[in-house]
């Protein structure tokens, strides 16, 4: 190994994915790396030219711009660029310049592709796509830390059995952990109290140390659910403490396993459909965060998870409509309840408010409006009680503006398209995501197709909508390629909604408007745009990959917050990401910004 190769190997060996490679593979890469000294202002490569290879910055700063000369990223030492996310069909879609005197390491394309084939760790790092097939949500795929009860209740060895029983009753638990000088000394279960205390008529002041199960069987937090099941069956156990590095971190019971295996969106829908009150439904929907954690932990793809969660909201809405009709009597004229926003697109997560409206039959009279005013209030109040909070922008059927006969809705859409002022653009963006939930679906027949045809035929409207769709941009900035929130409660975090998924949602909506595509779901819109030729196959592949990664990261962050006992939100701290995750997330944002730039130039995405 030459001195130069050794120095490169030492540098690469402290960063991902090179630190995961065998020594001989790392030496091979280092030997194939070419060192380049680039002067400030010099180009490294240009858009439209063959991509020269993979670059790693060892010193200096590099700016990456898209084909329209819009800056999309500023990179520093230890950042990589030039991999698949920045090329299409082997051609660069960006231009890179050194903004400081810089030193780079370059790996030629042939060497890069060879390593992608021969080194799994290298391939995993430079392949942005997540698994496309949902994994089965069962005990063979989930780890114990996803389903265990954290921070189990403990008591000292000298606690009396009377006191222990009171604690278990008041805390509604079936087991206490007894720590000692050398770690976990034992556990006390209801079975212990029954078999060793009550059955033998021991005095109530007997210390728990005399009846507890000593040196209990334990498992680490990375054990699989099947490990728990096997231990419980083999040793006839009802409780298993979970230990990590000698510390008690959780407790798992037979009830936890049963609940996990029973917890699915089907049970949610069944519970909601049979609920006799809003309170009963609220108890069901309160478990949605647990469902989200389970679905994420089982490896389900983001669009599967959000679809299942949205199905629950749909079921709640339809049940509330039935309750309203039971209370108010049959509707005087046909009506249709529709969802817009994330529920309309079937993309609800653990953080969702309500966005809805009512279409009424054109025969509706002023007297009929009172009925639907009451119906809207019952449903909207019920949704709020079930966790779907009132829309801050009052985009709800309780607002008379969004509770109108069909002829008025046709006038709304025609007016927004004819006069695309800022309010019209905002409203159209929401209303183009409409999806029927309950009522007479015939009221929606042909309306979507008619509106899409009108919109696509008005170039001024589509131009305004395109401009409006570019207001949300990916968070690309100076710090490792990210621009975080600058102030407030979520300072220094990434907004994974407004700067993450929303830019892609807006792109999908624009493709649908421009090419009269009827799908409402974002991923379905992107796929339809590809099939219709609105996006090239390679462009669609990159954008779908980017969307999957961003949306999946958003859900994983929500699941992490829930597991910590916090309320889920859309804000992610970059500090929680590994170099691996930072690199791929940055590349995903670059893809989105490139697509936005192409749309802003009016060229479509067919480049």
Instruction: Give the per-residue pLDDT at 422.
Output: 84
- Is residue 565 left, alpha or beta, with left meaning phi > 0 and alpha meaning psi from -120 to 50? left
- Whether residues 278 and 384 share a domain: the answer is yes
- Whether residues 418 and 513 share a domain: the answer is no
Strand partners, 65: 71, 95
- Whether residues 196 and 240 share a domain: the answer is yes
* Least trusted range by pLDDT, from 26-40, 329-343, 374-388: 26-40
- Whether residues 437 and 564 share a domain: the answer is no
pLDDT, tens digit (0-9, with 9 covering 90-100), for 91-146: 777 788 888 899 999 888 888 888 787 777 677 666 654 443 444 446 666 778 87
Does residue 38 sit within a domain? Answer: yes
pLDDT at 539 over 50: yes
At 297, the pLDDT band (50, 70, 90 cuts) reads: confident
- Whether residues 27 and 113 share a domain: the answer is yes
Does residue 430 sit within a domain? Answer: yes
Instruction: Give the per-residue pLDDT at 604.
Output: 41
Instruction: Give the per-residue pLDDT at 602.
Output: 62
- With both helix axes pointing from N to C terminus, report the angle between 288-297 and 265-273 in degrees, rounded to the nearest 10: 160
Q: Domain containing 116 — which CATH number?
A: 2.60.120.10
pLDDT at 316 over 80: yes
- Whether residues 80 and 118 share a domain: the answer is yes
- Whether residues 185 and 209 share a domain: the answer is yes
Instruction: Give the per-residue pLDDT at 139.
Output: 66
Q: How far apart are CA 142 and CA 418, in angstroms?
A: 53
pLDDT, tens digit (0-9, with 9 covering 90-100), for 386-410: 999 999 989 999 999 999 999 999 9
The alpha carbon of 406 is separated from its chain's Cα centroid by a whole number of angstroms, namely 35
Q: How far apart are CA 596 and CA 603, in angstroms?
A: 11
Q: Which residue is listed with tokens 């030459």?
A: 2
More confident residue, 131 or 435: 435
pLDDT, tens digit (0-9, with 9 covering 90-100), for 207-216: 999 999 999 9
Contact by Cβ (8 Å): 255, 521 = no
Mean pLDDT of all residues in 19-36: 82
More confident residue, 63 or 16: 63
Q: Which of 440, 466, 492 is the last residue of a domain?
A: 466
Write down the number of H helices and E strands in the chain.
22, 23
Instruction: Give the per-residue pLDDT at 114.
Output: 80
Q: How far apart are CA 306 and CA 349, in angstroms?
A: 6
DSSP structure class, residue 567? P
Q: How far apart are CA 454 and CA 416, in angstroms?
A: 11
Average of per-residue pLDDT values in the chain: 86
Contact by Cβ (8 Å): 472, 507 = no
Does residue 59 sit within a domain? Answer: yes
Share of the chain above pLDDT 90, in %: 44
- Whether residues 300 and 329 share a domain: the answer is yes
Does residue 130 sit within a domain? Answer: no
- Among 389, 306, 399, smallest CA distance to 344 is for 306
pLDDT at 581 over 90: no
pLDDT at 362 over 90: yes
Q: How far apart are CA 338 and CA 435, in angstroms?
A: 5
Preceding omega of 17 cis (within 30 degrees of 0): yes
Contact by Cβ (8 Å): 241, 216 = yes
Contact by Cβ (8 Å): 79, 480 = yes
Instruction: Give the per-residue pLDDT at 607.
Output: 32
Q: Domain containing 243 — which CATH number?
A: 3.10.580.10
- Whether residues 480 and 462 share a domain: the answer is no
Tokens standing for 14?
Answer: 């402290």
More confident residue, 81 or 492: 492
pLDDT at 547 over 60: yes
Q: How far apart are CA 82 and CA 104, in angstroms?
A: 12
Residue 481 to residues 72, 163, 538, Cα–Cα distance (Å): 9, 56, 24
Q: Which of 254, 272, 300 is the last residue of a domain?
A: 254
Q: Which of 445, 466, 487 is the last residue of a domain?
A: 466
Mean pLDDT of all residues in 561-581: 89
Q: Which residue is listed with tokens 């690469």?
A: 12
- Whether residues 115 and 152 share a domain: the answer is no
Instruction: Give the per-residue pLDDT at 73.
Output: 63
Residue 287 to residues 268, 275, 320, Cα–Cα distance (Å): 9, 15, 19
Instruction: Give the per-residue pLDDT at 113.
Output: 80
Contact by Cβ (8 Å): 372, 358 = yes
Q: How far apart are CA 327 and CA 146, in angstroms?
A: 42
Does residue 134 sit within a domain? Answer: no
Q: Domain containing 321 — which CATH number?
A: 3.30.460.10
- Whether residues 592 and 484 share a domain: the answer is yes
Does residue 295 sit within a domain? Answer: yes
- Among 450, 424, 472, 492, smallest CA distance to 589 is for 472
Kindly report the number of other CB atoms within 10 A of residue 302's CB atom: 24
pLDDT, tens digit (0-9, with 9 covering 90-100), for 247-263: 899 999 988 876 666 55
Strand partners, 224: 143
More confident residue, 175 or 294: 175
Instruction: Give the per-residue pLDDT at 133.
Output: 41
Helix or strand holding residue 585 (H, E):
helix 579-600
Q: Which residue is listed with tokens 């621009």?
A: 483
Q: Domain containing 572 — which CATH number?
A: 1.20.120
Does residue 138 sit within a domain? Answer: no
Kindly report the number of other CB atoms within 10 A of residue 26's CB atom: 20
Strand partners, 97: 43, 63
Q: Which of 56-70, 115-129, 336-350 has the highest mean pLDDT?
A: 336-350
- Domain range for residue 476? 470-600
Share of the chain above pLDDT 70, in %: 90
Mean pLDDT of all residues in 512-529: 91
For 120, list phi and psi in degrees, rounded to 5. Answer: -55, -40
Mean pLDDT of all residues in 430-459: 89
Number of domains in the chain: 4
Kindly report the number of other CB atoms within 10 A of residue 117's CB atom: 9
* Least trusted range by pLDDT, from 10-14, 361-365, 400-404: 10-14
Does residue 475 sit within a domain? Answer: yes
Contact by Cβ (8 Å): 250, 146 = no
- Whether residues 268 and 398 share a domain: the answer is yes
């Amino acid at each position: 190994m030459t001195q130069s190769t050794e120095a490169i190997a030492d540098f690469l060996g402290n960063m991902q994915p090179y630190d995961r490679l065998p020594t001989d593979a790392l030496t091979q890469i280092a030997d194939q790396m070419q060192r380049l000294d680039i002067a400030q202002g010099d180009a490294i490569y240009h858009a439209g030219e063959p991509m020269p290879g993979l670059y790693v910055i060892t010193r200096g700063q590099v700016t990456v711009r898209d084909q329209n000369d819009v800056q999309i990223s500023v990179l520093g030492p230890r950042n990589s660029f030039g991999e698949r996310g920045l090329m299409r069909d082997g051609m660069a879609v960006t231009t890179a310049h050194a903004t400081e005197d810089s030193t780079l390491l370059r790996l030629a394309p042939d060497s890069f592709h060879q390593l992608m084939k021969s080194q799994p760790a290298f391939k995993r790092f430079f392949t942005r796509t997540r698994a496309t097939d949902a994994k089965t949500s069962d005990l063979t795929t989930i780890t114990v830390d996803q389903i265990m009860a954290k921070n189990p209740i403990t008591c000292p060895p000298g606690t009396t059995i009377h006191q222990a029983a009171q604690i278990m009753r008041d805390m509604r638990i079936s087991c206490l952990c007894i720590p000692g000088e050398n770690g976990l000394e034992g556990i006390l279960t209801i079975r212990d109290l029954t078999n060793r205390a009550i059955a033998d008529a021991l005095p109530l002041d007997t210390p728990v140390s005399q009846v507890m199960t000593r040196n209990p069987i334990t498992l680490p937090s990375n054990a699989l659910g099947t490990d728990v099941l096997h231990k419980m069956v083999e040793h006839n156990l009802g409780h298993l403490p979970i230990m990590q590095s000698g510390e008690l971190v959780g407790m798992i019971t037979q009830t936890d396993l049963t609940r996990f295996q029973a917890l699915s969106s089907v049970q949610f829908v069944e519970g909601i459909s049979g609920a006799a009150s809003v309170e009963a439904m609220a108890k069901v929907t309160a478990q949605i965060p647990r469902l989200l954690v389970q679905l994420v932990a089982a490896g389900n793809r983001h669009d599967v998870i959000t679809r299942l969660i949205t199905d629950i909201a749909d079921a709640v809405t339809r049940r509330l409509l039935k309750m309203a009709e039971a209370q108010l009597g049959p509707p005087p004229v046909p009506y249709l309840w529709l969802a817009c926003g994330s529920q309309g697109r079937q993309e609800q997560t653990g953080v969702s408010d309500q966005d809805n409206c009512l279409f009424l039959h054109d025969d509706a009279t002023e007297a009929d409006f009172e009925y639907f005013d009451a119906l809207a209030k019952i449903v909207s109040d019920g949704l709020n009680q079930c966790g779907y909070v009132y829309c801050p922008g009052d985009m709800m059927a309780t607002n008379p503006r969004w509770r109108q006969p069909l002829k008025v809705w046709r006038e709304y859409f025609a007016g927004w398209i004819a006069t695309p002022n800022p309010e019209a653009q905002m409203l159209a963006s929401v209303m183009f995501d409409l999806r029927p939930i309950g009522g007479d679906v015939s009221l929606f027949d042909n309306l979507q197709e008619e509106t899409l045809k009108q919109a696509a035929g008005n170039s001024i409207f589509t131009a305004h909508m395109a401009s409006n769709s570019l207001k949300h941009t990916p968070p690309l900035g100076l710090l490792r390629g990210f621009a975080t929130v600058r102030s407030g409660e979520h300072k220094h975090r990434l907004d994974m909604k407004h700067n993450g998924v929303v830019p892609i949602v807006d792109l999908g909506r624009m493709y649908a408007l421009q090419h009269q595509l009827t799908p409402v779901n974002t991923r379905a819109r992107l796929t339809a745009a590809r099939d219709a030729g609105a996006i090239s196959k390679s462009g669609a592949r990159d954008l779908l990959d980017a969307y999957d990664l961003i949306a999946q990261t958003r859900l994983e962050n929500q699941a992490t917050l829930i597991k910590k006992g916090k309320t889920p939100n859309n804000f992610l701290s970059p500090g929680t990401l590994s170099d691996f995750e930072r690199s791929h997330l940055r590349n995903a944002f670059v893809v989105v910004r490139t697509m936005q730039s192409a749309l802003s130039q009016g060229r479509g995405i067919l480049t």
